Amino acid sequence: MELKTGSRRPGMDFSVDVFYEQTKGFSKYLNDPGTYKMVLVRTGSFVIDDNGEYCTITAPASIILNERADFKVVSESDVISRTIYFKPTFIREEFTFEALRSGRYEKFLSAVKDCGGMDPQERFLQALDGAAQFESCYKESLYQDALLMMEFNRHSRDIIYYSLMPQEYDAVNRMVASVRYDLLEQPDSFWILRVRYFIISLLFMVTADFYRNYRQDEIYKDPLVAKVTRYLWDHLDEDITLATILKEFRINKNTLNDAFNREMSMSCMAYLTQLRINHAKRLLQFFDLSVSEVCNECGYKDVSYFSKVFKKNTGMSASEYQKKMKDLC
């Protein structure tokens, strides 16, 4: 199947290299070698086999796949996904897969390499943040557009996962829905221009907006850890106990904790606490919720106990943390 969309407008007898699909589960075309893919996962959770290691993802989430991706689902539950397929030449004619992989457009990389004594990731983030030595890389539209394509080729992995906060999911979903509408309805002669605009907007979110702060990149060698982690994400707001987990997966405490200690250097319940505190921090930062409401959302039934755990892990109380984050914003 060619992942293209043909024009149905009178006098516009051609097709564009963009295709939209909504599926229960995941599309069978995600490993298509002729397109980039942006997937929005609306509901559910799933475990991916990433070259013999395992990654657990919980919706709402997004997945970015390049043309070399080998997407393997180990298990999934209640997944509904929306996928946009496109060829990078839809953004600019010179953006072939070969050209983008060659690095010829990543002009700032030479400057990045010259920043000795700095962690490579820190160098890259400085480039994105517009440090002085990278300014020339943003002046030409060719390189501006190429920067938007980086996420498909910058990593050593062909598949990148992102978790999304509700407001981020809403923003991405509006863009994806707009692409869908224009591709399927083609209401006027400007539909192609709008599709290109919406895809560029999505690329901006991926490369330079909130996506880079919420990347889901935990990879597990042990499938048991991946499955338990998915279970913890799915039931984060519930009263999960060690006994609950042992019963759910029909294993003993030593087997569970040995697996988590190998992967995480901590026990399963310590990892659950880490998940809950990280989730609490995001809720306190981005939502107008009371400490009591955040406590319930994170699976704690006693506010005083939640506050004690939060302060132990962050060095400040939940209310102090919330005030600090609001002041920064």
For position 31, what pLDDT does the model report?
A: 94
Q: Report pLDDT digits (tens) over 121-131.
A: 455 555 555 55
Q: Report pLDDT digits (tens) over 196-237.
A: 999 999 998 877 654 444 445 566 778 898 889 878 887 888
- How distant, in Å, are the alpha carbons of 20, 104, 278, 310, 329 from that of 209? 23, 24, 20, 28, 16
Q: Report pLDDT digits (tens) over 162-181.
A: 888 777 888 899 999 999 99
CATH number, domain 5-91+149-213 = 2.60.120.280
DSSP symbols for 90-149: GT-TT--HHHHHHTTT-TTHHHHHT-TTS-HHHHHHHHHTT-GGGGGGGSSHHHHHHHHT
| Residue 286 to residue 268: CA distance in whole angstroms | 27
32 pLDDT above the threshold of 60: yes
Q: What is the mean pLDDT of residues 228-253?
A: 90
More confident residue, 103 or 212: 103
Every domain of the chain and the residues it spans: 5-91+149-213, 106-147, 223-328
Helix (H) or strand (E) holding 303: helix 303-314
* Closest C-alpha to 320, from 281, 288, 276: 281
Helix (H) or strand (E) holding 42: strand 36-50
* Closest C-alpha to 176, from 67, 45, 57, 37: 37
Topology of the domain comprising 223-328? Arc Repressor Mutant, subunit A (1.10.10)
Q: Which residues contact 65 (CB under 8 A, 6 or more apart)?
A: 30, 36, 37, 39, 71, 158, 159
